[in-house]
Structures are given as structure tokens and as C-alpha cells.
């Protein structure tokens, strides 16, 4: 069985260091915070590039308005706050001042789902992907590791429009080496197998790989796809494996309603129906807890993926 190790570089450090580089390369790039600079490590940018750093305070909706204004004068704003505040609280502003007004805003919603941990239910977002998927023209992604974060930040800097990234702040697993390339809208096939397909995103990619290892020992070959872009989703790749394997399991740190599982189901049912099982949060609110406790409580584990996979065999 493969070993899965936590990255030495935190996701927040990858985010802040890449934005610092982007500002040095292009002074149109601005970093906006809702009083969470230390939490996401952009406090360093307040020193190295203070003219391109704006702390909007704990006024997340206003931060979207400021970002819209910057966009209208030709700048490229990157904004960050915890995922429920970047989506649930800011939804109207992102919809109207963002997408409807055709402005150019890059949004990071950090610590989605169970990663809220001790911040509890008020700070838990099991619906961020679902909300952002409904905004016309918005691009929606779930970032798996720091290599992907750095690569995608550079890509969206030069891609006009609303881009939403969902990512943890600290402990992610190393999935890709620094030479890996990513194309927005295209999934990454991490493992090939003829029996089943597991489509995962974010923190659930490593759980999918763990489940695939266990299944391999039992003689079951599984394809594992990191579907990091959830909108626009890779329809071509989904249909390819729908025709090659016996069924799909989706896995996400999100409500099973409206997220990755729903997006995959929409493609399958309209084009090539095959059996599907979804691993995710089953229509529940968040709660206080450690990461290990919450992962088991909400069944966001390799064991649950394994269980769902065996239902299809």
C-alpha cells in the first residue's frame, strides 16, 4: 500500500507566497483580506507589497464590492476569507457585483467543510461549491495540494472572470510534484482501473487513493480521478470512464446535494447512465470537533468509499 504524507509546505504558505510573486510580476494584482491575514499568511504581503494589500476588516460583503471596484479600473483582485463567508455570506455581492457586472474577482474560501473544526457549525460550509456552481459564468475548483494551488493561482490571474477556489489552510497531502501541469476544466487521472471509477476532490482525493489500494489487494482495479474543477466539469472524461467501468463513486468534503456528486450525476443521467454512489455529508449541519472526529462522524473516509464501491460490484 502507498504511503500518504502530509506536505511540509502549508497550503496557506503556497497561497501567500505565490500572490507575493504575482504582485512583483504585475502591479495590477491586489490582495484583499477580511481581517484574516495571519490565518492565511498574507500578513507577509502587507510588509513586502503593502501598496497592493488591503485589509477590509470583518466586512466580507464590502470586500467583494472593493474587489469589484478594483476590477473596474483594470486591477486583478484576489480575496480571501473562510469558506462560509466567501460564499454563503457574500453570495449576493459575488452574484451581482461579480458575475452579473462581469467583473474580474478571484476568491479563496478556506477551510471548507470539516476543516472548520473548533470554529463549529457557524463556520462550517458544506454548501460552498453548490452555491458557487449556480452563479452563471463562475469557475469553481477544489484544490488538492500546494503544487496545484500555485499552478492554478497563476492560471486564474490571467483568466478573466469569477473564479472560486475551495482549499484547506494547513495540512494537505502531497499528491503532485512541482513539474505537474493542470488544465482548468480537465480532471487528473491518478490511477487506472477497469472495474470502478472513483471521482474525488479536495481532501477526499487521498481517501480515494487509500480505498483504491485496499481494493487492489482484493483484486479490484479502480480508476481514481481528481476532479479539481467542478465547474466546468470534465464531461468528456466522465463519459470515457462511464463506458469503461461498471460504476462510479464520488467523494467530497461537502453536502452530497449540489456538489461534485450532483455534478457527476447530471452528466451521467443525461448522457450515459451507470450506477453511482455518493460519499459526502448527508444533508447535515456542521459541529465542533477535532478533524479525526469530524471525518469519522460525517463518514468522509476511505472506509466509506470502500463500502460504497463494494455496493456496485
Q: Is 71 helix (H, G, I), strand (E, B) or coil?
A: helix
Q: Are 82 and 50 in contact (CB under 8 A)?
A: no
CB contact at 8 A, 31 and 75: no
270: annotated active-site residue: no
Candidate list 60, 127, 207, 252, residue with the active-site label: 60
DSSP states of 89-109: TTHHHIIIIIIITT---EEEE
Peptide bond into 175 cis (omega under 30): no
**Would you say 11 and 108 are in contact if contact means Cβ atoms under 8 Å apart?**
no
Which residues make Cβ contacts (< 8 Å) with residue 231, sequence separation at least 6? 132, 133, 138, 139, 140, 263
Asked whether the beta carbons of 254 and 279 are under 8 A apart, the reply is: no
H/E element, 46? helix 45-48
Residues involved in catalysis: 60
Amino acid at each position: 500500500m502507498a504511503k500518504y504524507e502530509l506536505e511540509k509546505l502549508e497550503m496557506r504558505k503556497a497561497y501567500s507566497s505565490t500572490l507575493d510573486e504575482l504582485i512583483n510580476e504585475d502591479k495590477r494584482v491586489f490582495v484583499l483580506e477580511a481581517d484574516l491575514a495571519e490565518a492565511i499568511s498574507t500578513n507577509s504581503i502587507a510588509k513586502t507589497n503593502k501598496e497592493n494589500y488591503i485589509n477590509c476588516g470583518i466586512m466580507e460583503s464590502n470586500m467583494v464590492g472593493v474587489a469589484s471596484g478594483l476590477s473596474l479600473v483594470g486591477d486583478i483582485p484576489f480575496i480571501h476569507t473562510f469558506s462560509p463567508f466567501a460564499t454563503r455570506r457574500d453570495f449576493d455581492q459575488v452574484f451581482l457585483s461579480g458575475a452579473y457586472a462581469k467583473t474580474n474577482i478571484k476568491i479563496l474560501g478556506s477551510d471548507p467543510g470539516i476543516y472548520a473544526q473548533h470554529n463549529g457549525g457557524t463556520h462550517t460550509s458544506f454548501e460552498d461549491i453548490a452555491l458557487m456552481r449556480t452563479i452563471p459564468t463562475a469557475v469553481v475548483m477544489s484544490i488538492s495540494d500546494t503544487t496545484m494551488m500555485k499552478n492554478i493561482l497563476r492560471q486564474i490571474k490571467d483568466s478573466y472572470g469569477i473564479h472560486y477556489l475551495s482549499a484547506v489552510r494547513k495540512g494537505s497531502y502531497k499528491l503532485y510534484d512541482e513539474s505537474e501541469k493542470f488544465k482548468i476544466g480537465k480532471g487528473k487521472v491518478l490511477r487506472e482501473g477497469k472495474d470502478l471509477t472513483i471521482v474525488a476532490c479536495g481532501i477526499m482525493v487521498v481517501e480515494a487513493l487509500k480505498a483504491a489500494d485496499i481494493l487492489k489487494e482484493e483484486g479490484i482495479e479502480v480508476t481514481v480521478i481528481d476532479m479539481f474543477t467542478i465547474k466546468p466539469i470534465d464531461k468528456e472524461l466522465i463519459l470515457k470512464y462511464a463506458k469503461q467501468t461498471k460504476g462510479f463513486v464520488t467523494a467530497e468534503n461537502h453536502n452530497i446535494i449540489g456538489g461534485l456528486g450532483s455534478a457527476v450525476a447530471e452528466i451521467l443521467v443525461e448522457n450515459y447512465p451507470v450506477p453511482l454512489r455518493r460519499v459526502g455529508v448527508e444533508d447535515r449541519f456542521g459541529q465542533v470537533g477535532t478533524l479525526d472526529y469530524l471525518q469519522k462522524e460525517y463518514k468522509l473516509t476511505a472506509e466509506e468509499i470502500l463500502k460504497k464501491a463494494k455496493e456496485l460490484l
